[in-house]
Structure 1
Amino acid sequence: MPSLSAFDIFKIGIGPSSSHTMGPWQAARRFLDERTSAELARVNRLVVDLYGSLAKTGKGHGTDLAVQMGLLGADPRTVEVDSIPTELESIKASGRITANGVRQIAFDPQQDIVFHREIQLPGHPNGLRFTAILDDGSTIQSVYYSIGGGFIVREGEAEPTTAKAFPFPIECASDLLTHCRENNCSIAEIVMRNELVLRDATQIHTEIDAIRDAMLSSVHRGCRTAGTLPGGLNVKRRAFGVASSLLGHDCPEGATQWLDAIRQQPRDFQRVLDWVSCFALAVNEENAAFGRVVTAPTNGAAGVIPAVLMYHLCFNDPPPEASRRFLLTAAEIGCIFKKGATISAAMGGCQAEIGVSSAMAAAALTEGLGGTPPQAAMAAEIAMEHHLGMTCDPIGGLVQIPCIERNAFGAIKAITAAHLSLLTNPVEARVSLDDVVRTMWETAQDMNAKYKETSEGGLALRIAVNLSEC
């Protein structure tokens, strides 16, 4: 597979799902962007058909809402989150949508977004078809697949990659470690040298800082927001109460004051553990509430890396550039898993989301704490090893139970993996990172489809049955 950038792995967007929300959102934008002005002028009606996992859990994941926002032309990086309900209500009330913010076209979400729960398109479990019906009754259609982590491909296309070759090509972990050894440098340094092919140093720092700031902002908002999550499960937000209890008062409104207050906290084991869990819960409660988060590498796993990054920044007193190195290292591990396995729960279960994010965070923290590249790779391997086979079984198709708590566990496992790797000579490792990537992919292929983000097995089925019997 050709090159992937760190900024392919980390994307700022809207929750609750990178594959079921952000991917369809971007597919809708792309469908209209690919139409000529003459074609758009002749469109009378739009229809969206959802297939496979997008149909089975699309309601809970907000797929129907996402395609409407995409058809409006809204950018998930910058759209005002609080404006989304108003935009959607306007479409519902009028039966029309302002395509790309320019042309009014007939569109009734109840009739024109069709969920085909029993049909899966051949290219991927997350398929969707857009149909534009023209004045003369003819149609223009395009099929897209949302392949995980916010990535989309049109039917017949290869997966998106960077156009330029990197000076240090990396297909697997052994490639990465060879480059580090031969150049006597860290993983973050190798990634930075590759990124310089695409952007200058100032641009890289600006973009990686924007990713960091978006992550920390999602933690901060989650720690300051109480209430109940949408969707009908009546899940109470917990991060607000946990953060307030740990601080002894509500979180400060200013992010700088908030971080300072956390850094001044006692650093006993139990309190630090509680903070890490709080950080992860905060992000994924924001994600579940259709807030802005960073895919890392997905939305369902968006809380793991921010939680471990916050642990590093608040309780390890790292140097100022620590967050940049942390995120560059994490991104490369994510790229290795995407190339060698998958980051899509619809393809591989939750091991592809929480497992990958935990591995990314473990490697990044290991380097941040002074570990060598082989120790960082070992940490990633340890973290994934203990997520192998994890199913994706969201109750009600909502990214809430068990998804939110899984981020806390993924973060704690990442920290444990990092510290274990720092206590170990990597030469003694019997399992390599490449071994565990291959094993994860084999496990994904063997996994029953009902455990791959369909809400047809596991907790989702058990709770649905129990609720229907009550």
Structure 2
Amino acid sequence: MFLSVFDLFKIGIGPSSSHTMGPMTAAARFLDEVAGNDWPRPAGVKVDRLGASLHGSLAYTGIGHGSDRAVMLGLAGLTPQTVDPDQADGIASRIAAEKRISPPGHPTYRFDPATDLVLDRKTPLTGHANGMAFYAYDSGGRLLLKRIYYSIGGGFVVSEEELQRMKAKGSVTTEGKKVPYPFKNAVEMLAMAGKSGLSIADMKRVNEETQMTREALDAGLDGIWSAMKGCIDRGLSQDGIMPGGLKVRRRARMLHDKLQEQWQQNKPNPLLANDWLSIDAMA
């Protein structure tokens, strides 16, 4: 099995890969379909309004996880990798106020989140608990295009048709691409390490370099670390209430300042390393 390190470590907006990144990615995929020619577009008819509905787990926990906002950002042409989290609330507020959405490369579409974005707790989609549907209408309200997507975890999104094909194969995972050191479990991985004389990290690097150059791999890894470090620094610089409506207070900065004070006073703390690690994770 081969999953790239870039499949496992995704740069994206939080708080949830399946409930935030997934819906944003699905919305962006739908935009691409609206702009494409792979659906029977009636001659002379233009898409005038967009809509979306979240189902199952996404409907029940969508507000707390920002799934509704993620859909708006995705339909605005943003992706989890490119969105500026400090600008996200402002973009969503502007869409709600204007009741229109203008993704790059598209005309302006009517989109009122109050009516066109539905958290449907009564109608589950059968493919997966994290289901969502997207709609495109003409100016007369006629449905032109509907697509169903599922957020299957880890930021991965599949269409209804893709999910059916995966289930037909007996699994919702993929065997991936062929690599020199494939493995399905830790036993296989350790056996290959013993036989090859390579560390797990070295084998992983060999696998990755069959898919990209060493320079691209190193640049990508540096990008992941830079995003992680930036996220930690941002979390340590902010106070107040976290978004999501659950009124959870940010604690990382306060605890960071306390640890700094202890360190400056040279107070003994046998758990100091664990405390710093916990604060970085919280941030």
The bucket for the TM-score relative to the shorter chain is: 0.7 to 0.9
Could you give the per-residue CA deviations for residues 231-276 of structure 1, whole angstroms, max 9, x where no partner exists?
4443222111111121239xxxxxxxxxxx99xx888522222212
The answer to whether the Cα contact below 8 Å between 2:34 and 2:136 also exists between their aligned partners in 1 is no
Residue in structure 1 matched with residue 231 of structure 2 by the alignment: 218
**1:58 pairs with 2:62:** yes
Which string of whole-angstrom CA distances, capped at 9 and with x for unpartnered residues, describes residues 405-464 of structure 1?
xxxxxxxxxxxxxxxxxxxxxxxxxxxxxxxxxxxxxxxxxxxxxxxxxxxxxxxxxxxx
Deviations 1:86-125 (A, max 9, x none): 2112211111111345311111101111111133212110
Structure 2, unaligned runs of 5 or more: 167-171
Moved over 6 A (4+): none
Task: Name the CA distance, whole Å, in 1 between partners of 2:160 and 2:100.
Answer: 27
CA 1:221–1:135 in structure 2 vs 1: closer, same or farther (change >3 Å)?
Answer: closer
Shift of 1:25: 0.1
- Name the counterpart of 1:30: 29
Deviations 1:286-306 (A, max 9, x none): xxxxxxxxxxxxxxxxxxxxx
In the alignment, structure 1 residue 272 sits paired with structure 2 residue 269: no
3-state secondary structure, aligned to 1:248:
helix
Q: What residue in structure 2 maps to residue 13 of structure 1? A: 12
Cα pair 1:49 1:116 within 8 Å, conserved? yes
Amino acid at match of 2:5: A
SS of the residue aligned with 1:269? coil
Task: Measure how far apart 1:222 and its partner are.
Answer: 1.4
Superposed displacement of residue 79, structure 1: 2.1
Alignment partner of 1:83 is 2:82: no
Contact 1:3–1:166 (CA<8 Å) still a contact in 2?
yes
Deviation at 1:143, TM superposition (A): 0.6
Partner of 1:11, secondary structure, is coil
Task: Give 2:217's match in structure 1, choosing from 193, 199, 204.
Answer: 204
Q: Is 1:189 the counterpart of 2:182 in the alignment?
A: no
Secondary structure at the aligned position of 2:49 is classed as strand
Matches within 5 A, 1:380-459: none
Cα gap change, 1:225/1:162 in structure 2, threshold over 3 Å: closer, same or farther?
A: farther
Is the 8 Å Cα contact of residues 46 and 130 (structure 1) preserved in structure 2? yes
Q: Residues 16-415 of structure 1: matches in 2 within 5 Å?
A: 16-36=15-35, 39=41, 42-100=46-104, 102-135=106-139, 137-157=142-162, 158=166, 164-248=177-261, 268-282=269-283
Match of 2:169 in 1: none
Aligned amino acid, residue 78 of structure 1: T
Whether the aligned pair in 2 keeps the contact of 1:22 and 1:66 (CA below 8 Å) is yes
- Structure 1: unaligned runs, 5 residues or longer: 250-260, 283-470
TM-score computed with the length of structure 2 as normaliser: 0.86
Q: Contact 2:19–2:66 at 8 Å: present in 1 too? A: yes
Q: Partner amino acid for 1:115?
A: L
Q: 2:175 and 2:76 mapped to 1: Cα distance?
A: 27
Aligned equivalents of 1:88, 1:214: Cα separation in 2: 23
- The answer (yes or no) to whether the contact 2:18–2:152 under 8 Å persists in 1 is yes
CA shift, 1:9, in A, is 0.8
Q: Which amino acid aligns with 2:144?
A: T
Equivalent residue letter for 1:104: T
1:35 alignment partner, SS class: helix
The CA deviation string for residues 344-363 of structure 1, in whole angstroms up to 9 with x for no partner, is xxxxxxxxxxxxxxxxxxxx
What's the secondary structure of 2:161's corresponding residue? coil
Give the C-alpha shift of residue 76 in structure 1.
Answer: 2.1
- Cα 1:165–1:73 shift into 2, 3 Å: same
CA gap of 1:21–1:233, structure 2 versus 1, over 3 A, is closer
Q: Is the 8 A contact 1:32 1:100 kept in 2?
A: no
* C-alpha contact (below 8 Å) 1:29/1:100 kept by paired residues: no
Is contact 1:52-1:126 (8 Å) kept? yes
Two-structure CA RMSD over aligned residues (Å): 2.5
Structure-1 separation of matches of 2:84 and 2:120:
31
The structure whose residues are more often helix, as a share, is 1
Post-superposition shift, 1:77?
1.6
1:167-202, Cα deviation, whole Å (9 max, x unpaired): 111122222112111101111111111101111111
- 1:34 Cα deviation after fit: 2.1
SS at match of 1:128: strand
Once residues 104 and 51 of structure 2 are traced to their aligned partners in structure 1, the CA distance between those partners, rounded to angstroms, is: 15
Report the AA paired with residue 82 of structure 1.
D
> How big is the shift at 1:228?
2.2
Number of aligned residues: 268
Inter-CA distance 37–274: structure 2 relative to 1 (3 Å threshold): closer
Q: RCO higher in 1 or 2 (8 Å CA, sep ≥ 6)?
A: 2
SS of the residue aligned with 1:211?
Answer: helix
Counterpart CA distance in 2 for 1:267 and 1:198 is 48
Q: Give 3-state SS (helix, strand or coil) of 1:132's partner.
A: strand
**Aligned 8 A contact 1:20 1:146 in 2:** yes
Q: Which amino acid aligns with 1:110?
A: A
